[in-house]
Structure 1
Amino acid sequence: MSSRIREQLLSFFLERQDDFLSGEEISEHLQCSRTAIWKQIEELRKEGYQIEARPKRGYRLIYRPDRVAPEELKPHLSTDRFGQQIRYRQKMSSTQLLAHEWAREEAVEGSLVITEEQVQGRGRLGRTWVSPPHSGIWMSLILRPPIPLIQAPQLTLLTSVALTRALRQETGLEIRIKWPNDLLIHGRKVCGILTETRGEQDQVQYVVLGMGINVNVTASCWPKELKETATSLAIEGNTTYHRPKLIAKILEELEGLYDAYLAHGFEPIRILWEEYAGMLGRQIRTLTPEGPVKGTAVGLDRSGALLIQRGDQVSPVFSAEIDC
């Protein structure tokens, strides 16, 4: 109840950002007591919000910290399901771990776990994902698609398309997809996707879709070994970005493409992926479980496998590391 009042209170402050709001006006708008309002104003102040109070005039919001808490995110949301249920922590080990726990508790599809800082962020193949505080988007989305397990990898490709579309629209940056789960700007990684699936009898039970996006991260935040390979939206765009607005756009794109995928299959996603891919027509080296394979990346097949051309032969690669 208190979190709902806080979300509505902040939303009201944002709607009337230049005005003083009296306690009576806020109480009538939120349908709660003035004592409850005072308590939530004190909680917002503890989170770093500066709220001016003047006798006979009321309260006015004069400063907002950079946060991705529900009260900051929900005013921007336009989705039906994605992000409507949120578990937020200022700091956690990994959004993936909490999302799995929530999914096992029967969280509804579209439930979102999000944090300001991960101390044990996870990437693909057990790698560590560096997640500096208050600078990126570190979140995991729970999906329950009615699809066979064999099709689950297509959700990674769908997510890469949704993220590319959303971030391009919001930043104007030339973001490209690297198969199977990275987004790049000028060849440097700005985003990674981690898709983890649980299933029974060849059907998907749930999917935890993890996304790590370097938004306002500075180069000084990364260890030495990442500074040549990683980048951020802020570095490339030479400006900072409002993270809640980016998240809302990402969830909007994800929900739209996900619903289209369930209705029409993978083919529309495949076409969009090839439009945004930055590796097609280039010579690449893939490190497959059977050994290295060199050739030209020419597209995706209808299942989502990467098609590699060597001479006159075109072969699908289902699982590999790409060394462009």
Structure 2
Amino acid sequence: MTHSHSQATILKLFREADREFVSGARISAALGVSRTAVWKQIGQLRQLGYQIEAAPAKGYRLLQAPDVLLAAEVQNELGTACIGREVVFYSETDSTNLRVHELGKSGVAEGVVVIADAQNAGRGRMGRSWLSPPGVNLYLSVLLRPAIAPRHACHLTFLSAVAVARTVAAVGEVTPQVKWPNDILVNGRKLAGLLNELDAETDRIRYLVLGIGVNLNMAAEQFPDDLRYPATSLLLERGEPVSRQRFTRTLLRTLDELYGLYRRSGFAPIMAAWQAYFDLVGRQVEVDCQEYRLRGKVAGLGEDGALLLELADGRTERVLAGDVRPL
């Protein structure tokens, strides 16, 4: 039995016992390991922040559980059809997107989710880094294998933005906006970023990685001074922390529901849902496309998700990638 399955089994026994003691013999039998190995597993759970009482002749009981994103906690009563069928948790990794790339290349079925408590090489769009301290936020990546042409891969960016926005509204109880193409804002400050990557041939996607980073319980002093864009967290917006476990489960359920809708009904309902959070239509913006900048009025979005920009000379420019700043 793997390390994470052992933890899941022990936590399940504790949940079923409902704060009563579970004997060492019972845990030992459930895991198929010695009492000494059980003691070691209990020690590892304690290191993660679980308060577990041990009593001679009685066994162990759970007094308090921390808000950690162990697979066993995230999958508890998750009930999704595809996304989250397998969850892999790291206390720290370089980047959850890189871990999912490895799984994608090895042929793992879609729906696997990789979560890290901290990342030491978190990545944002355009090669930027994504600050990823431990214990406060959500960093996760999902492996998908949609049967769509590579040119439609951007549909999944809009899908994940809708999922994050809906989860922020439901769990965070604040009103989010989407910033084209893949940031989530609250009161004009960046709360979440998406980095979706794909591995494809000319006519088919081998796999797609949905990378999602959300600032949940980050305090003001944890943000660096040199951010290119003002950032925030749900803690700062609400004045109180949110449960990372509840947020993550809600997000995975919402992603699962929207992915099912996309496979059944295509991009139109996803785009309509995304536009409900987009408030820049009709407004003057500047778009930084790295090599050049454009100024114009947002006329809407193309069917492929391109930003339609009405320039001063009356022409409409289709923008496929860039940083948008309202003027």
TM-score (norm 2): 0.91
Conserved in 1, the CA contact under 8 Å of 2:53 and 2:62?
yes
Conserved in 1, the CA contact under 8 Å of 2:235 and 2:241?
yes
2:319 aligned residue (297, 309, 317)? 317
Runs of 4+ that moved beyond 6 A = none
Q: Which moved more, 1:252-261 or 1:224-233?
A: 224-233
1:253 maps to what in 2?
A: 254
* Number of positions where the alignment pairs a residue of Structure 1 with one of Structure 2: 323
Alignment partners' CA distance in 1, 2:148 and 2:229: 39
The alignment's C-alpha RMSD in Å is 2.2
Instruction: Give SS of 2:165's match.
Output: helix
- 1:165 and 2:160 aligned: no
Conserved in 2, the CA contact under 8 Å of 1:141 and 1:210?
yes
**Structure 2 unaligned runs (5+)?**
none
Structure 2 CA distance for partners of 1:121 and 1:201, relative to 1, 3 Å: same
Alignment partners' CA distance in 2, 1:266 and 1:147: 11
Alignment partners' CA distance in 1, 2:142 and 2:59: 39
Alignment of 1:186-197 (within 5 A): 186-197=187-198
1:290 shift after superposition? 6.9
1:52 maps to what in 2?
A: 53
Alignment partners' CA distance in 2, 1:31 and 1:89: 22
Alignment partners' CA distance in 2, 1:260 and 1:101: 27
2:130 maps to what in 1?
A: 129
Conserved in 2, the CA contact under 8 Å of 1:118 and 1:132?
yes
Conserved in 2, the CA contact under 8 Å of 1:23 and 1:34?
no
Conserved in 2, the CA contact under 8 Å of 1:307 and 1:314?
yes
| Equivalent position amino acid for 1:160 in 2 | A
Instruction: Give SS of 2:226's match.
Output: helix
Q: Once the two structures are aligned, what percentage of the paired residues are identical?
A: 37
1:314 shift after superposition? 4.3
| Equivalent position amino acid for 1:316 in 2 | R
Q: Which moved more, 1:70-79 or 1:110-119?
A: 70-79
- Deviation string for 1:19-66 (max 9, x for gaps)? 2333455567x4746736444323312333221122344322112233
Conserved in 2, the CA contact under 8 Å of 1:136 and 1:214?
yes
Instruction: Give SS of 1:225's match.
Output: coil
Structure 2 CA distance for partners of 1:124 and 1:31, relative to 1, 3 Å: closer
Conserved in 2, the CA contact under 8 Å of 1:287 and 1:320?
yes
Alignment partners' CA distance in 2, 1:277 and 1:91: 34
Instruction: Give SS of 2:232's match.
Output: coil
Conserved in 1, the CA contact under 8 Å of 2:190 and 2:229?
no
**Structure 1 unaligned runs (5+)?**
none
2:294 maps to what in 1?
A: 293
Alignment partners' CA distance in 2, 1:323 and 1:74: 38
